[in-house]
Amino acid sequence: MVTMLLDRRTLLKGIGAAGASVSVAGLASASDGSVEYVVTGKGNGVSDAVADAGFEVFRTVADGEILGVRGPADAESDLSGVAGVSAVSRDVRLDFTEPVDRRVVDPDETDEEPAFAELQWDNRRIDAGEAREFATGEGTSVAVVDTGIDFDHPDLGNVNEDLAATFIPEDASATDGADDEVRGHGTAVAGVVGATGDQGIVGVAPDTELIPVRVFPDEGGARFIDIFAGIDYAAAVGADVANFSLGVPGVLPPQANQGGIRAAIQTVFQSAVRRGTVVTASAGNAGGNLQQGGGFSLPNSVPAAFSVSATGPNDELVFYSNFGTNEIDVAAPGGGYETLEKTLSTDTPFPFPTNLVFTTYPLERGAYVYIAGTSFSAPQVAGLAALVRELEPNAGPSQVEQAIQQGAELVNGKSDPELGAGRINALNTVESLAKKNGKNKKKKK
């Protein structure tokens, strides 16, 4: 039995406000009323110096270069004056605005394997099926830094529960740890990366190992310091890729460029890349032009992030995706069309909702979902990075990124304002590497 639950008004609210996206839920503070800060510093003694100045250091990230700090309100200048501190910002909490349209599947009443492959236009657009004849992500791992992953989903049997980790505020709850039973976003991202195809759909890298890194509690937002801790953890456990489909909402003005959050993101991402982890990041869903006026968005404007814009079934940039020369590295399917009106139309080659990305969702919330956003273009690239790492396990992050860019299509060069080096093509990428390394196609299962 298959039941379609569609609510155009909800989808309009979700995508129109920028897809499965995040918004600022407020400034971060502790249950005792103290204010929480993100502090960036250099040197081994920064944490001790901050503590000696009367502040509480409650989280340490990236070998002590990033600190989660509690103290009184309006203490930025005091913290900035501590020896070794280079940037300070109030921490904030981010929370989701997401559509709830979903397709509900009863696994006991569906015996097709996979049941919904025909709905995955995104897989076909990037030639993922043909690419899996050369590589499937075997021997690799992708950390999904998000809301966790549903441990019981029939298409996500490749979740490594032993490496699952949770980073949330001390006064918040995460039922069953990194098992995503409530929020859904991380499960949807994970399906794009590496759904196994055992039941409903198949991801780009079905044999990769998925590592759930939960940074959102059951209710309420995620602090940046916890998100940073999640990225840091992914690198610490040796993940080949860390997917980061989260970020600061909107397009930020030039004067915000020197803020402490950007400095911290850059420090954490660079630390992860130095340790060998590719960090794929969504370009953002504000529909913003990042090449004029000095505006930028986070995390994709940070050099260490492999930034991904979103395209639709016709390979055009989708209406909600940010864009800008030197801001976009590659593009990948994210769902929707060039305008919201066209996206919601039923008179197109892929009528609503089939022009959205169809992916996994928690069993308790419907098993599969139609959803859209750059949140779902980034994991397409994360899955492809896993295929690259299978073929070239010793390739550094920059080499993985170059291989993906060289395999992309539709544009010349690497600086197209909408697509960067182009819309990814998994087959082009892995076939070229396989030929270079003298490897044959894998045997089909």
- Residues forming the active site: 146, 185, 375
Q: Measured between alpha carbons, how far is residue 392 from residues 132, 214, 242, 302, 408 in Å?
A: 15, 29, 17, 26, 18
How many beta carbons lie within 10 A of that of residue 445, not counting itself? Answer: 8
What tokens does 264 get? 């911290």
- Residue given tokens 């690497």 in the structure block: 414
Burial 280-319 (b: 16+ CB within 10 A, else e): bbbbbbbbbebeeeebbbbbbbbebbbbbbbbbbeebbbb
For the chain, the first-to-last Cα distance in angstroms comes to: 27
Numbers of helices and strands, H then E, in the chain: 12, 20
Q: What is the DSSP string of 115-170?
A: SSGGG-HHHHHTTHHHHTTT---TT-EEEEEES-B-TT-TT-TTB-STT-EE---T
Q: Measured between alpha carbons, how far is residue 207 from residues 137, 138, 210, 381 in Å?
A: 5, 5, 9, 15
**CA pair distance 359, 376, nearest whole angstrom:** 9
**CA pair distance 239, 252, nearest whole angstrom:** 30
Q: What is the H or E stretch that residue 274 is in?
A: helix 260-274
Q: In what order do the strands lie in the sheet with 306-311?
A: 165-166, 209-214, 141-146, 241-244, 278-282, 306-311, 330-333
Q: What is the H or E stretch that residue 431 is in?
A: helix 426-437
Beta strands 141-146 and 56-61 are: unpaired
